[in-house]
Amino acid sequence: MSTPEAYTPPESHAAIVALAKSVAGCDSLIVSGFRDNVRLEVPPAASLEALRKLRSHAGLDLLVDLSAADYLNYPNAVHRYGIWYVLESVETGIRLVVKTWADDPDPRVDSVFDVWRGADWMEREVFDLFGIVFEGHPDLRRILMPDEFSSHPLRKDYPLRGDGERHNFHALSREES
């Protein structure tokens, strides 16, 4: 990560950053940037409030992307999971990445289902693949893996080739069919 002190957000984002800082619990949020991305790191306790305010007051009305990464053994990582929200304003085209985090053993963040309906499936996907629970999501169930599946495959401690689930089926012979 680039050092937060050295980074000042571009002119276009100054008002948005100021707005985000005005949310309770966000006064010390970290602003960073890389290439054309401007990132705000918001503590999970305040993430819902901050995102709600960014939508209603800063006009960031489009939730472009919502996903997560597992930072297990990542260089200098403090938290295990990072969750990002890529927001954009349809009107002005300003784009902002909001990041928050969660930790083992019970990774949880607040759901933004009420703010953007588009978050519905994206949050379910993160729940399915990482096991992060989105509190307040009305229909949080697995979406890509079978309901009975027991692991979260995109976690770093899950092997690429799986734990043998893919071979756990009955083989049909010609006579049986």
Which residues bind to other proteins, rule: CB under 8 A?
A: 1-2, 34-37, 61-65, 67, 69-70, 74-76, 82, 84, 86, 90, 93, 95, 97, 116-122, 125, 129, 139-151, 153-154, 158-177
CB of residue 19 to other proteins, shortest distance in Å: 20
Nearer to other proteins, 1 or 14 (CB): 1
d(CA 27, CA 19): 10
Nearer to other proteins, 14 or 159 (CB): 159
d(CA 24, CA 7): 23
Residue whose token pair is 């100054």: 14
Sign of dihedral through CA atoms 114, 117, 121, 125? negative
- Residue whose C-alpha is closest to residue 58's, from 99, 89, 32: 89
DSSP-derived letter for residue 173 is: P
Nearer to other proteins, 25 or 61 (CB): 61
Nearer to other proteins, 41 or 110 (CB): 41
CB of residue 50 to other proteins, shortest distance in Å: 18
